[in-house]
Amino acid sequence: MTVQGSNINKKKYKKNYEIIKNKKLTSENIKFKLYPKSSVKINILTNIEEKNKYSDYEKENDIDISDFEDEELMAELTAKQIIDMINSKKNINYRDIIILKRSLKGSVNIYSRVFKKHNIPLFIDYSQAVFEVLEVSLFIDFLKIIDNIRQDEALLAVLLSSIGNFDIDDITKIKIYDMKEKYFYNIFFKYAREVQDELSEKIAKFIKKIENYADIERYMQLDEFIDYIMTDSSYKDYISTMPQGEMRIQNLKIINEKAREFIQNENKSLFHFLMYIDAILKNKSDDITPKSISKEQNLVRLMSIHKSKGLESRIVIINDLQKKFNMQDKNKAILLDAKYGIGSNYVDIQDDYYMPTLAKKAVLSEYESGARAEEIRILYVALTRAKNDIILNSIGKATYYKLIENIRTGFFSKGLESINNYQDFILYAIADDIRDNFSNTKLYQFNEIDIKDIILAEEEKTDLRQKFEDMLKNISLSEEEKKLIREKYTYDYEYKDYITKQVKTSVTSLAKKNIELKSKYIVEKLFDYDYHKKINDFTPEKIGTLNHLFLQHIDFKKNYTSDDLEKQLADMIKSDFITQEESEVINLKQVYNFIKSDIGKRIKKSQNIYQEESFIDSYDGTLLSGVIDLFFEEDNHLVLLDYKTDSVRKEDVKEHAKMYKEQINLYKTAINKAFDKEVKQSYIYFLSVGEIVEI
């Protein structure tokens, strides 16, 4: 397997790597040296419907795959591969398999859940993993509310768990009691004080229990206190009854171990311990030293490529080859390089724009070259961990189909400098074989797996009940006996939907999902307009959050001048609401235009204005939370306004606004439930172009 083509010439590594040399990369001098007896399987998860855009394949079963995230699909594929290997009668054990990923951040819960569902024992070698698994993160939330109950997210998580034993209807009833109150914990206490019913008694008992624990914590040693509340709250008993309960209990013991380590310091309080845990979670680096597991423990191991250095395994599965390299540093305003010096942007203050200078482009080119060279080295590390079999798993996106077609037609001239993921490195390496439709290669297998096959494999499990019923028909038993058998072997857990369903989500998350389903026109326009450009190294989401924060502090009854807005921004920096760097992405000109617009004038004249109103509601069996930007009272009815910071052209705003229709409808429903007055009009205001669209 070879990689062809480019001028990546950044680093020189040890001779035995033979993967990066200080000269032009060609198929002659770049080789992935594998074990002589290694077999390589390259699997690309593909979406036939997406593929149809680039080929003449016939459309197959119409299955909606939009509900399946990439990470979950990859975990399901990996689980299926492992099950097939274990059942292959090749004397393969779980301990023979290692799963490698470039980074485990955000993967822990998904792999844990999917592998538990398939009864695959999994060991996650990740310094933060134990704090991300459900049983541990929930217990940390429990500790947080004992230290300070006025924390909405932690409080809601505990209330909806076995510790609180509240359900979604309880939470919704509490929130609806005072929709104008921003913080749930205030309504929680208010409901207990002012209402006399069964729910208020339940709240009072919960508050008393938390207060008792808080009192005990003051005179008990921290590690002993943690062990005490695990037992007293029956949390440990509950966890032990869950699937793989013994492993979950071992995860909980890590909290005790961390507490024992922590109390060696001067600060021994629960408050400082929680700060210590937060510091661990915020540390993005993975511990270099692998955790040790004995040979007797028959577990599949999941770890980062970085941590696998020096390890060998019979079978290595390398996942998520389609994920883009992390090159966030290139978005910084100023770049430094030993060879080219300082590279910065040219900033035109008068016309309000910036662009990279030639010096910055030179530094950027050197940075990207070095970053890709480092990624090739890391890929090499991953590829040389296997003694027998390497399985490479990737998900084919639109760029994959284009690249495959371009390779087959010979229409690809860009070298490695255009590559931004491992998948494309490998496709370039096997380009000749792709052109020949793999007619000559014996070194590896190349498979395209339809995503729907993974989904259908899950759906086939539902056929078991029908087979069970068919079997009963052929047995000579009375109806009473058959009924008893059904009750024993086909028990329906009352709350089974909640096992796989998110307990809590946000309106923004639902809207985002809706946008992904309906944003075809954006994809078409991405080629000539950058909707997702970063500014000052801030993502569009972060920029939106900062602009919303500023608008939250606007008093629409005031007569603002441009100077007033600048002063307010300066005051927010001084008060530590935002940093100086964050203030630079708040566009005061856009805010000023919004205030002086027709809708801004209507807001000013209105009877009542409601800004940043939070709500919690029940939606499709899920606890739904959201924050409404603004609504106001006008002529005895309500007007809803949502402002967006999306970069969009004036001619596109109406089409763009359609994607937020579901979000706006959810906001309207929440307002209508909380107020006697009806929402008669709903608008979206696009700050970037000063345009308003009625929904």
Give the model confidence (pLDDT) of 618-670 as tens digits. Answer: 555 555 667 788 999 988 889 999 988 887 888 888 888 888 888 888 888 88
Using the predicted structure, report yes or no on whether residue 435 has a pLDDT greater than 80. Answer: no
Q: Provide, rounded to the nearest whole percent, the portion of the chain with pLDDT above 70.
A: 68
pLDDT bin (cut points 50, 70, 90) of residue 295 is low
Q: Report, in this order, helix, strand and coil percent for the chain, each rounded to 5.
A: 50, 15, 35
Of 458, 505, 433, which Cα lies nearest the Cα of 666? 505
pLDDT given at position 298: 84
CB atoms within 10 A of CB 100: 26
pLDDT given at position 188: 92
Of 232, 92, 212, which Cα lies nearest the Cα of 163? 232
Q: Which CATH architecture has domain 504-694?
A: Alpha-Beta Complex (3.90)
Cβ pair 32, 1 in contact under 8 A: yes
pLDDT given at position 17: 33
Using the predicted structure, report yes or no on whether residue 172 has a pLDDT greater than 70. Answer: yes
Cβ pair 294, 91 in contact under 8 A: no
Residue predicted with more confidence, 48 or 177: 177
Residues 276-292 have a mean pLDDT of 56
pLDDT bin (cut points 50, 70, 90) of residue 122 is confident
CB within 8 A of 343, min separation 6: which ones? 334, 335, 336, 337, 356, 357, 359, 360, 361, 362, 363, 364
pLDDT given at position 488: 55
How far apart are alpha carbons 383 and 44 in whole angstroms? Answer: 17
Q: Is 29 left (phi over 0), alpha (psi -120 to 50) or beta?
A: alpha
Task: Please report the sign of the dihedral spanned by the C-alpha atoms of residue 230, residue 233, residue 234, residue 238.
Answer: negative
Using the predicted structure, report yes or no on whether residue 438 has a pLDDT greater than 50. Answer: yes
pLDDT given at position 638: 92
How far apart are alpha carbons 9 and 20 in whole angstroms? Answer: 7
Residue predicted with more confidence, 257 or 512: 257
Cβ pair 101, 305 in contact under 8 A: yes
Which residues pair with residue 449 across a beta bridge?
Answer: 45
Cβ pair 666, 624 in contact under 8 A: yes
Angle at 380 between CA 377 and CA 381, to 5 degrees: 90
Residues 536-540 have a mean pLDDT of 64
Which residues pair with residue 639 across a beta bridge?
Answer: 632, 681
Using the predicted structure, report yes or no on whether residue 286 has a pLDDT greater than 50. Answer: no
- Residue extents of the structural domains in the chain: 39-126+292-450, 129-282, 465-497, 504-694
Rg for the chain, CA atoms, rounded: 29
CB atoms within 10 A of CB 496: 10
Consecutive H or E run containing 522: helix 520-525
Residue predicted with more confidence, 476 or 273: 273
Does 129-282 carry CATH code 1.10.486.10?
yes
Query: For 511-514, which contacts have Cβ atoms below 8 Å and span 24 or more sequence positions?
Result: 511/659, 511/660, 511/662, 511/663, 513/66, 514/659, 514/660, 514/662, 514/663
pLDDT given at position 61: 38
Cα dihedral 83→308→30→449 (10° resolution): 20
How far apart are alpha carbons 143 and 588 in whole angstroms? Answer: 42
How far apart are alpha carbons 16 and 134 in whole angstroms? Answer: 43
Q: 606-639 in b/e burial notation, b at 16+ Cβ within 10 A?
A: beeebbebbbbbebeebbbbbbbbbbbebeeebb
How far apart are alpha carbons 367 and 581 in whole angstroms? Answer: 23
Query: Please, what is the end-to-end C-alpha distance for the chain in angstroms?
Result: 55
Of 134, 355, 130, which Cα lies nearest the Cα of 258? 130
Cβ pair 222, 263 in contact under 8 A: yes
pLDDT given at position 276: 79
pLDDT given at position 66: 44
By mean pLDDT, which of 55-59, 441-445, 511-515 is the weakest?
55-59
Q: Please give the backbone phi and psi of residue 567, each rounded to the nearest 5 degrees, phi first.
A: -65, -40
pLDDT bin (cut points 50, 70, 90) of residue 99 is very high
Residues 126-130 have a mean pLDDT of 56
How far apart are alpha carbons 297 and 110 in whole angstroms? Answer: 22
Q: Please give the backbone phi and psi of residue 563, each rounded to the nearest 5 degrees, phi first.
A: -65, -35
How does the average pLDDT of the chain come out, rounded? Answer: 74
How far apart are alpha carbons 556 and 685 in whole angstroms? Answer: 15
SS3 97: strand
CATH class for the domain made up of 39-126+292-450:
alpha beta
CB within 8 A of 464, min separation 6: which ones? none
Of 386, 462, 453, which Cα lies nearest the Cα of 77? 453
Do 39-126+292-450 and 129-282 fold alike per CATH? no
- Residue 478's Cβ-side half-sphere holds a number of Cα atoms within 13 Å equal to 3
How far apart are alpha carbons 497 and 517 in whole angstroms? Answer: 24
